[in-house]
């Protein structure tokens, strides 16, 4: 099955069912299907060809939903762009990913103006609900073209459908190549695991560029569920939407859950329609999970995955979630669950490659049809990540006797802050760009609001005296704001190093993580 088959199935079986609700705008599956086919014809009318790469930089909306499907109908692989990236990062992605057309939300016109002259391969900009000189109007493109019959190319299941850029350990983003088979298989796995039904209503409140939410676009279309959109997260808008539209399911990052739990007006809203709140992108401390259960009810379950696996690998079920009683079962509140249907997930010793025994620590690896084709134009990194036929996640975990998985640390040098990945090397490269920095190490430290915060430990060059604010502002001009250090600690002595000269970040982390049972928060 290909993605446009999912769309055809939804239009055929649920033509008059409400597909999308975006503020006051609603479309049925039949209407959405026609808009998508008109948009596909419109893209081709611009001179774009099947096989050309397109991208979207926008907030959540019904148009984002349409864009995720139009790539299959028009035959044009799609790159959903992180709205929090800096201009020069987006410039790199657009050039590296060979993007020919950009669908642009009006909020990001100022950002686009910063890189428009540096992306010569970008031939078309399609603007959403606004005016921009030289750009094509999205709604005009739909209105002025007849629906494309069929699809614009012959797809193979292994052909790349999405090109999703993640942060890179080298400081440059990597394009994850996700095939038709990977995207559709993941949606099938999720639907089987979580028993989605036609009656379900999904709230897209986590950013749709992120696969943590995007997979639900496909999974809910498979069963004829309804999609509701919040353009951006705010506790009040989220709660208002849940109450108004009787939302049954959603996914939130722990930071969002924390904001909801601490929102003063939470008790004024009816959230009883919710029967499942998945959380992912970063772990949630058990004490905060219990607080969320007390505020929202026992409907929270952790899911785990990564962009490279489209993304789902494991999930908890509400029936496995125990807040009191048997100690072994209560302990599973800290688990990210067990492998979902259709995926083989193992925790293996990093030296022997053998499955670890309960209580031992190993790396999570995974195999299945949802795993990526590889990294765009990076064969060596692809071979390393997919060695032995398994995706090596870089996440360290333990298992128990019933194969519940507990993440304890990251093998990769990465911080998860507010659900976003921050690669330490990228931040360190920005710091080293400052003329007064002799040595720099970046680590994640516990943070009540964001889960982890970015901390920089800096040794200044002799005779210099840079300030914390100066270094943070310097980084802000190079990398996205969420990646910049929240705090800079200065020291005169050299950073601790191993025999080969590698900075010992385990030593730097110790004072901040003392008393913690795991090195992720």
pLDDT higher than 80, residue 316: yes
Banded pLDDT at 153 (limits 50, 70, 90)? very high
Show the tokens assigned to 16.
């008059």
User: Which positions ≥6 away from 212 have C-beta within 8 Å?
Assistant: 206, 251, 253, 280, 281, 305, 311, 419
User: Which positions ≥6 away from 397 have C-beta within 8 Å?
Assistant: 336, 347, 361, 362, 363, 364, 405, 406, 407, 408
- Report the SS3 class of residue 351: coil
Banded pLDDT at 11 (limits 50, 70, 90)? very high
- pLDDT attached to residue 239: 98
Element (H, E) at 178: strand 174-179
- pLDDT attached to residue 500: 55
Q: 3-232: which CATH number, 3.30.365.10, 2.40.128.280, 3.40.309.10, 3.40.50.12780?
A: 3.40.50.12780
Q: Do the Cβ atoms of 130 and 108 come closer than 8 Å?
A: no
Task: Give residue-wise pLDDT tens across range 97-129.
Answer: 999 999 999 999 999 999 999 999 999 999 999
- pLDDT attached to residue 513: 87
- Please state the domain extents for the chain: 3-232, 414-513
Task: Give residue-wise pLDDT tens across range 13-22.
Answer: 999 999 999 9
Return d(Cα 316, Cα 406) in angstroms, integer.
Answer: 11
Nearest in space to 432 (alpha carbons), one of 459, 414, 465, 464 = 459
Helix extents (H) in 178-285: 180-194, 211-223, 235-245, 254-261
Task: Give residue-wise pLDDT tens across range 201-239.
Answer: 999 999 999 999 999 999 999 999 999 999 999 999 999
What sign results for the dihedral spanned by CA atoms 141, 144, 150, 152? negative
- pLDDT attached to residue 404: 96
- For the CA atoms of the chain, what is the radius of gyration? 23
> CATH assignment of 414-513?
3.30.300.30
Find residue 390's DSSP bridge partners. none
Output helix, strand, coil percentages for the chain, rounded to the nearest 5. 35, 25, 40
% residues pLDDT > 90 (the chain): 80
Range in 224-228, 416-420, 499-503 the model is least confident about: 499-503
Return d(Cα 251, Cα 276) in angstroms, integer.
Answer: 8
pTM: predicted TM-score of the whole model, two decimal places: 0.88
Banded pLDDT at 273 (limits 50, 70, 90)? very high
CA geometry: angle 364, 370, 371, nearest 5 deg: 55
Residue with tokens 């428009």: 116
Task: Give residue-wise pLDDT tens across range 333-352.
Answer: 989 999 999 999 999 999 99
């Amino acid at each position: 099955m290909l993605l446009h088959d999912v769309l055809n199935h939804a239009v055929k079986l649920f033509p008059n069912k409400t597909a999308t609700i975006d503020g006051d705008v609603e479309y049925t599956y039949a209407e959405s299907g026609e808009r998508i086919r008109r948009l596909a014809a419109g893209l081709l009318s611009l001179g774009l060809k099947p096989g050309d790469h397109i991208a979207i930089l926008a907030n959540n909306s019904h148009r984002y939903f349409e864009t995720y499907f139009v790539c299959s109908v028009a035959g044009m692989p799609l790159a959903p762009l992180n709205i929090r990236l800096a201009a020069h990062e987006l410039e790199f992605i657009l050039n590296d990913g060979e993007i020919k057309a950009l669908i642009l939300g009006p909020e990001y016109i100022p950002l686009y103006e910063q890189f428009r002259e540096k992306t010569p391969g970008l031939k078309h900009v399609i603007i959403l609900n606004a005016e921009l000189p030289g750009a094509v109007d999205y709604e005009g493109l739909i209105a002025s073209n007849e629906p494309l019959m069929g699809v614009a190319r012959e797809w193979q299941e292994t052909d790349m459908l999405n090109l999703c850029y993640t942060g890179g350990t080298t400081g440059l983003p990597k394009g994850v190549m996700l095939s038709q088979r990977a995207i559709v298989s993941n949606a099938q796995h999720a639907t089987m695991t979580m028993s989605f039904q036609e009656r379900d209503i999904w709230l897209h409140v986590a950013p749709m560029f992120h696969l943590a939410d995007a997979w639900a676009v496909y999974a809910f279309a498979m069963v004829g569920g309804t999609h509701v959109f919040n353009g951006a997260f705010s506790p009040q808008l989220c709660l208002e939407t849940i109450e108004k539209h009787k939302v049954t399911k959603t996914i939130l990052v722990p930071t969002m859950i924390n904001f909801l739990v601490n929102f003063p007006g939470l008790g004024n809203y009816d959230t009883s329609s919710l029967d499942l709140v998945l959380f992912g992108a970063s772990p949630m401390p058990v004490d905060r999970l219990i607080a969320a259960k007390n505020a929202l009810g026992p409907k929270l379950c952790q899911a785990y995955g990564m962009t490279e696996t489209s993304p789902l690998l494991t999930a908890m079920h509400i029936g496995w979630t125990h807040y009191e009683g048997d100690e072994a079962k209560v302990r599973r509140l800290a688990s990210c669950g067990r492998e979902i249907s259709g995926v083989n997930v193992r925790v293996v010793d990093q030296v022997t490659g053998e499955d670890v025994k309960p209580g031992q620590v190993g790396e999570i690896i995974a195999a299945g049809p949802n795993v990526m084709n590889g990294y765009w134009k990076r064969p060596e990194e692809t071979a390393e990540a997919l060695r032995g036929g398994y995706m090596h996640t870089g996440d360290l975990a333990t298992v128990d006797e019933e194969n519940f998985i507990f993440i304890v640390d990251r093998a990769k040098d990465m911080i998860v802050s507010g659900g976003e990945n921050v690669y330490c090397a990228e931040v360190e490269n920005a710091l080293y760009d400052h003329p007064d920095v002799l040595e720099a190490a970046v680590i994640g430290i516990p943070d009540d609001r964001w889960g982890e915060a970015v901390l920089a430990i800096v040794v200044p060059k002799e005779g210099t005296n840079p300030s914390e604010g100066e270094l943070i502002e310097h980084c802000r001009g190079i990398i996205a704001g969420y990646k910049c250090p929240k705090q800079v600690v200065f020291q005169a002595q050299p950073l601790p190093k191993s025999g080969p000269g590698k900075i010992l970040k385990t030593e730097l982390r110790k004072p901040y993580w003392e008393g913690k049972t795991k090195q992720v928060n």
